[in-house]
Amino acid sequence: MQVIPAIDIRGGRCVRLEQGDYSRETVFGEDPLAVARRWREAGASCIHVVDLDGAREGRPRNAEVIRRLLVAMSTPVQVGGGIRDMATIKSYLDAGAARVVLGTAAVTDQTTLISALALFRDRIAVGVDAREGIVVTEGWLETSGLTAAELLRQLSELGVRRIIYTDIRRDGMLTEPNFAAIGELLEQASGLPAPVSVIASGGISSIQHLRRLAELGVEAAIVGKALYTGAMDLREALAAVSP
């Protein structure tokens, strides 16, 4: 199982939010590129970068910062936040992103999702962000009315091969992942006509959590606040769950 450090960018800085609340922000670095290099040097095989301003406003707001990071990094980087059209998808992939993550667009504009899958299938992931089982969009500010399970089935039918599942209530809280919800999604995903890989995010704060996620069968785990606060050491985490 991969352990993927997260870099959330707001106003050009590396921050973490609690439960997706923009008023509950902690700044962990002025230079996201320096943070990315730190995780690369610790052994990360992939880095997860999110434009938080973009997620809320519906268009890239930290694109230049992200592009500089993509150009400078040899480690694969997946990018999300404010990616709502083909031009933005292509611009990030052309800049060197290994993968782009669609969130709101995968719910509200599936024409764009279908087009992206047709051109870049293996380089497209979908963020399934849920609060109490219901998918939210627009930087976690709007409720869709879809359950995570319903969206997963839709995405599989469209040809999505990978989702990133985040339980917003756990995100940034250093509690624990929603193992029950993740387990249910994994069971559903494995039974679909076209199986979907699941990356887990939200609430991961110990190596024991990583081991349990690996046992459940997730493809990867995205870790944020635990790394920044020192609750988890990336090198130790990688060693604990590496094949």
For residue 124, give both structure tokens: 């497209």
Q: Give the distance, in angstroms, between the CA of residue 161 and the centroid of all CA atoms in the same chain.
A: 14
Closest CA to 49 of 114, 125, 105: 125
Cite the active site residues.
Answer: 8, 129
| Least confident interval from 83-97, 104-118, 119-133, 169-183 | 169-183
For position 170, what pLDDT does the model report? 78
CB atoms within 10 A of CB 131: 17
Residue 77 predicted with pLDDT over 70:
yes
| Residue 222 per-residue DSSP state | E
Identify the CA nearest to 83 among candidates 111, 67, 60, 99.
Answer: 60
* Token code pair at residue 112: 């764009």
Rounded-to-integer distance, Cα 14 and Cα 6, Å:
10
Q: Alpha-carbon distance 38 to 77, whole Å?
A: 14
pLDDT tens column, 155-201 = 999 999 999 999 988 766 678 999 999 999 999 999 998 889 999 99
Q: Is the pLDDT of residue 215 over 90?
A: yes
Q: Are 218 and 186 in contact (CB under 8 A)?
A: yes
pLDDT of res. 187: 95
Average pLDDT, the chain: 93
Location of structure tokens 């249910």: 184
